[in-house]
Amino acid sequence: MDIALILASGIAWTIVYIQAIRVGFRDRTYAMPAVVLGLNFAWEWTYAVQNLAFDPSVQGGINLVWGIADAVIVYTFFRYGRAEFPSFVTARMFAGLSVLLFGMSFAVQWLFLAKFGAEDGAGYSAFLQNLLMSALFIAMFVARRGLRGQSVTIAVAKWLGTLAPTILFGALQHNGFLLGLGIMCGVLDLVYVWLCVGAKRDGGVGDVPEPRAVTNRAYSAPMEA
């Protein structure tokens, strides 16, 4: 049962990442909210290295696959992401803030690892950032006013990918903290599925602005007389 649920989660999240890569290149954007992209990327590489180096397991191999796939999503973020920000965010500012975001994301994972150890640190940080991710996917849908850079497949696979470890670590291992976080993730994930299905039924994107054109000039506000 444990291996089946681990594999189910691994397959579902791999589908999320593959679809996010495809949709990101198709729509010329990034398909995962920036904050959780940083946290996910840091989590996967932190625990892939930790697991494969000190306690090899199926989950370690899955983390490595996820980390490689997430690296491509990170590439779409750096390639297309600046267009999603206001015009005063220059190329240099975007690069600096992005490096800061990813650096702090690794710092957060290493603090969890140092405080709680590999097993508990991985579980607690994963469920907390999944809850954040579930909320931010809804926020991204609202900000983009539709399905640009998103899909029903991502929404459903994301829900299933978190449901499996919720059953395993929350219900079967009687961890009330993880179970509670997993249930909240599930509620938000189903809201996101509902939003995506509704948008798909109504034609996909609706009244969605395209990303602004990016130039290399710094933003300057017009002067009033």
pLDDT for 205 beyond 80:
no
Per-residue confidence at 213, pLDDT binned at 50, 70, 90? Answer: low
Is residue 208 within 8 Å of residue 145, measured between CB atoms?
yes
pLDDT of residue 209: 46
Report which DSSP code applies to 34: H
| Residue-level pLDDT at 219 | 38
Which is more confident, 207 or 137? Answer: 137
Given pLDDT bands bounded at 50, 70 and 90, which one contains residue 2? confident
**Hunting for tokens 């500012």 — which residue is that?**
93
pLDDT at residue 207 is higher than 60: no
pLDDT tens per residue, range 16-67: 999 999 999 999 999 999 999 999 999 999 999 998 888 788 888 889 999 9
Average pLDDT over residues 177-201: 96
pLDDT of the residue at 206:
43
Place 97 in a pLDDT band, splitting at 50, 70 and 90.
very high
Token pair 């969605």 is at which residue? 208
- Provide the pLDDT for residue 36: 94
The pTM (predicted TM-score) of the whole model is 0.86
CB 76 within 8 A of CB 25: yes
Burial class from Cβ neighbours inside 10 Å (0-12, 13-18, 19+) for residue 161 reads buried
| Average pLDDT across the chain, whole number | 89
